[in-house]
Chain A
Amino acid sequence: MKHLRAINKKARAIGEAVAQVEAASAGTPTDMDEDVVALQQQPRPHVPMGCTLSFSPGWEVDAGGGTAGLCQPVERDIYDCYVTCFWPVQVPDHVNYSPDWASNCATATKDWRSLDLVFP
């Protein structure tokens, strides 16, 4: 620790923990995961494949640096995004704005071609 001087046993124990964290992650605490972190940061944040982190709208590249692992609204099964995804922006919003968007798609596996973009 550079700015804190431990002066009792409990503080020294905390100091050791700080030193360990610093040594293990070259200065990046392991519990910084609530922080905004950049993908290029080392060590890399954990990125789930297949969908975005629930708190990270605006994801542009995936863990591999490409777009294949991106969240559903962009590249994957857009029907599922519409039905289950919490994120209300890039997909048609069936609650407030486009309740009928999927009305001519009775069976998604068969009718998915009849889904179209939403024009505001």
Chain B
Amino acid sequence: MTVMQAPAYRRAEYHGFEAGGGHFIYLVSAGAIFEIDADVRTVLTRLDGQELTHAALVRELASDGRDTAEAEALVRELRVARLIQLGAAAPVMPQAPPADFPLQALVLNVTNQCNLACTYCYEFGADKIATPAGKPKYMTLDTARASVDLLIAEAVGRKAVHITFFGGETLMNFKLLRDVVDYANAATAAAGKAITYSLTTNATLLTPEIVTFLSDNRIGVTVSMDGPPEMQDKHRVYKNGKGSYAVIEPRLRTLIAHHKTRAITARVTLTEGVTDVVRIFRHLKDDLGFHEVGFAPVTTGEERAYSLDDNGMDSVLAQFSLLADEWLEYALRGESHGFTNVSETISELISGVNKSHPCGAGLGLMGVSPSGDLSPCHRFTDADTHTMGHVSSGIDRAKQGEFLKKGHVEAKYDCQSCWARPLCAGGCHHEAFVRYGDTGHANLHYCDWIRQWTDTCLRIYGVLAVQNPGFLERFAERKGLS
């Protein structure tokens, strides 16, 4: 005989937080953020650890002195917004992304040569996955043109495309860069698309002419550096071991003073001994004048000498929080602060992203090696195990599909019960490969960290939503333009 039970309400998956005197929830299934009132909190508390049928829930709410119609309306509102649900939500199975997802950006690895020998470099350090032996060291103009053509052909339906120049040290192939920009400007114009550019450099080869070129062409610049002299010179050294700070400082000042068309960003790699986040930030922002400063812990396999241990990560997170508080103070005054890690997360929270994949790698973004091999992103260039076609023959759809299927958050078992997954989606494919030998593995070594950081940013978001919502709106607009 069939046993029938009345379906009961349960809470949907969410992360609750308080900020600025208000109560909020981050709804995981959607990436939506709501400020909630006392009535909603009552319902959620009643459903804490138990399920209630519609009738029982309404009865309980009415027993608090509400009239039944009001209680009904409250339950309906929560139900339609999916904060509560009847029974278990149907499981969502991994979906393969559409096979013809349009490209949006290419990272051109214009050279795999570098004039520095940073000890932690993922491209040439102990954890490298690239196998550049016997392959061209510099990209030729033909390869670069074929890349641009591929980008235009594959960016079906996109109004704008983007090219990032990358290395090695990008400026070691500046001549190519200039020619590519000319070619790409003309080619995209002919195709009726807009194009934007950015470049990553270690700043050692910047000259006034290069700076002018970058500014004239609105090329966004990210400088990889680690901070004040003693930190910069710890890992970011020439092959003879000499530090690079003294060389780059005057060049950075020229860059920041003369490149006026785009924000200039510093990207700091945090390693053992280089975790003084606040001091680094002060130096880069206040002394050198960078507009934005972002930090990333180094990617390492096992216990490398430079890897961050748990204490290092705790200290990093504590300092991130200090800077995040400062970011909030600025935002409450309507000013921008420049701590990229907060800005990035806030902009994702504004739109409510809910990622199927941690990043665009292999989806809207691909890396191109000097020889023209395609890979999921710049960190996989020249790694034979991860080629995904060639600029002359096009994208290898089978390999792309396989990569994306693995990288889909729904395929990562560990992430299914994590409230941070709309933003994290399992984390960087490359880091997963270096750590676990599998691009589809969840980056479990930083989950606590990600969740704590996401919570911090949600609180900032909440305070702003209560005290200066206008800032969030302006922020969203500005982000849209950058």
Question: CB within 8 Å of B: which residues of A?
Answer: 1-11, 13-15, 17-18, 21-22, 27-29, 31-32, 34-36, 55, 57, 86, 88
Asked whether B370 is an interface residue with its Cβ less than 8 Å from the other chain, the reply is: no
Q: A4-B37, A21-B80 are in contact. List 8 more A-B contacts (CB 8 A).
A: A3-B39, A3-B40, A3-B78, A6-B33, A7-B469, A17-B81, A28-B76, A35-B86
B4 & A18 in contact (Cβ 8 Å cutoff): no
- Near A by CB (< 8 A), chain B positions 75-99 give 76-83, 86-87
With most chain A CB atoms within 10 A of its CB, the pick from B4, B36, B76, B80 is B80
By a CB distance below 8 angstroms, the chain A residues around B1 are: 88
Whether a CB of chain A sits under 8 angstroms from the CB of B465 is: yes
Contact A29 B36 (CB under 8 A): no
Using C-beta atoms within 8 Å of the partner chain, give the interface range for chain B.
Answer: 35 or more
Q: Nearest Cβ in chain B — how far from A6, in angstroms? A: 6
In the complex, what residues of A have CB within 8 A of residue B426's CB? none
Contact between chains at B54 and A8 (CB < 8 Å):
no
Contact B7 A34 (CB under 8 A): yes
9 A-B pairs closest in CB distance:
A10-B352, A11-B32, A5-B35, A10-B32, A7-B465, A4-B34, A8-B33, A29-B80, A8-B352
Binding site for A on B (CB under 8 A): 1-2, 4, 6-7, 24, 27, 30-37, 39-40, 53-55, 72-74, 76-83, 86-87, 349-352, 354, 461-462, 465, 469, 472, 476
Residues of B within 8 A of A10 (CB): 30-33, 351-352, 354
Query: What would be 10 A-B contacts, judged by CB atoms less than 8 Å apart?
Result: A1-B81, A2-B77, A4-B34, A7-B34, A7-B472, A8-B33, A10-B354, A32-B79, A34-B86, A55-B4
User: Which residues of the partner chain B approach A13 to less than 8 Å between Cβ atoms?
Assistant: 32, 352
A28 to B, closest residue via Cβ: B76
Residue of B nearest to A33 (CB): B86
| With known contacts A3-B36, A88-B1, A8–B76 Cβ distance under 8 A | no
Contact status A27-B76, CB under 8 Å: yes
Q: Which of A1, A2, A35, A36 is packed against the most chain B CB atoms within 10 Å?
A: A35
Are A4 and B82 in touch, CB under 8 angstroms?
Answer: no
The CA-CA distance from A86 to B39 in the complex, in Å, is 42
CA–CA, A5 to B23, complex, Å?
Answer: 10
Distance A88 CA – B40 CA, assembled complex (angstroms): 41
By a CB distance below 8 angstroms, the chain B residues around A21 are 80
> CB distance B351 to A8 under 8 Å?
yes
Point out the residues of chain A lying under 8 angstroms from B36, CB to CB. 3-5
Residues in chain A near residue B74, CB distance under 8 A = 2-3
**In the complex, what residues of B have CB within 8 A of residue A3's CB?**
36-37, 39-40, 74, 77-78
Cα A14 to Cα B82 in complex, Å, equals: 9
Chain A proximity of B417: nearest CB distance (Å): 21
Q: How far is the CB of A94 from chain B (nearest CB, A)?
A: 13
Known: A34-B86, A35-B54, A35-B86. A8 touches B350 (CB 8 A): yes
Which of chain A's residues have a CB closer than 8 A to the CB of B30? 10-11, 14
* A9 & B34 in contact (Cβ 8 Å cutoff): no
CA distance A22 to B82 in the complex (A): 14
Report the bound CA distance from A21 to B80 in whole Å.
8
A9 near B352: Cβ-Cβ < 8 Å: yes
Q: Which chain B residue lies CB-closest to A17? A: B80
**Which residues of A sit under 8 angstroms from B32, Cβ to Cβ?**
6, 8, 10-11, 13-14
Q: A36 — which chain B residues lie within 8 A by C-beta?
A: 6, 53-55
**Which residues in B have their C-beta under 8 angstroms from that of A57?**
4
Chain A residues near B350: list those with CB within 8 A. Answer: 8-9
Residues in chain B near residue A4, CB distance under 8 A: 34-37, 40, 77-78, 81, 83
Quote the shortest CB–CB distance from B342 to chain A (angstroms): 16
- Expressed in whole angstroms, the Cα–Cα distance for A36 and B77 within the complex equals 17
B87 touching A34 by the CB < 8 A rule?
Answer: yes
CB distance from A58 to the nearest CB of B (A): 10
| CB-based contact B34/A5 at 8 Å | yes
How far apart are the CA atoms of A36 and B86 in the complex, in Å? 12
* Docked complex Cα distance between A11 and B92 (Å): 21
- Chain A: CB-nearest residue to B73: A27
- Residue of A1, A7, A22, A86 near B33 (CB, 8 A) is A7
With A and B bound together, what is the CA distance between A9 and B34 in angstroms?
10
User: CB distance A1 to B352 under 8 Å?
Assistant: no
The docked-state distance in angstroms from the alpha carbon of A57 to that of B6 is 12
A18–B83 Cα distance when bound, in Å, is 12
The reply to whether A18 and B77 contact each other, CB–CB distance below 8 Å, is yes
CB distance from B19 to the nearest CB of A (A): 10
Determine the distance from Cα of A7 to Cα of B473 in the docked complex, in whole angstroms: 10
Q: How far is the CA of A17 from the CA of B27 in the complex (A)?
A: 15
Residues in chain B near residue A9, CB distance under 8 A: 350-352, 476
Q: Which residues on the A side are within 8 Å of B465 (C-beta)?
A: 7
Closest chain B residue to A6 by CB distance? B34
Bound-state Cα–Cα, A36 to B4, Å:
13
Q: How far is the CB of B350 from chain A (nearest CB, A)?
A: 6
Query: A17-B80, A18-B77 are known contacts. Are A8 and B349 too (CB-CB below 8 A)?
Result: yes
- Distance A9 CA – B352 CA, assembled complex (angstroms): 6
The docked-state distance in angstroms from the alpha carbon of A32 to that of B78 is: 12
A91 to chain B, nearest CB (A): 13
CA gap between A71 and B344 in the complex, in Å: 59
Q: Which residues from chain A contact B37 at a C-beta distance below 8 Å?
A: 3-4
